[in-house]
Amino acid sequence: MGSFERTMNLRQVATNYSQSETKTNYKMTTFLIMAGTVLTIIIILKSIKSKT
């Protein structure tokens, strides 16, 4: 395998890693937003219930 092919393979590996890293970050961000939303709703509902 020549150096050009090796360089192209390394670029492909780096591109694939970068894309999978982005997907992982997106999933984690979505999870944190959803968890925060659920916790906020629970806190609001508990505060309303305790007032009545």
- Number of structural domains, the chain? 1
Q: Which domain holds residue 33?
A: 1-52
Burial string for 12-32 (b: 16+ CB within 10 Å, else e) reads: eeeeeeeeeeeeeeeeeeeee
The helix/strand/coil state of 52 is: coil
User: What are 27's two structure tokens?
Assistant: 């999933």
Give the pTM. 0.53
Give the dihedral of Cα atoms 41, 45, 51, 52; nearest 10 deg. 160
pLDDT for res 45: 93
Per-residue pLDDT at 34: 95
Question: What pLDDT digit, counting tens, does each position of 1-52 carry?
Answer: 556 666 667 777 767 666 666 666 678 888 999 999 999 999 999 999 887 6
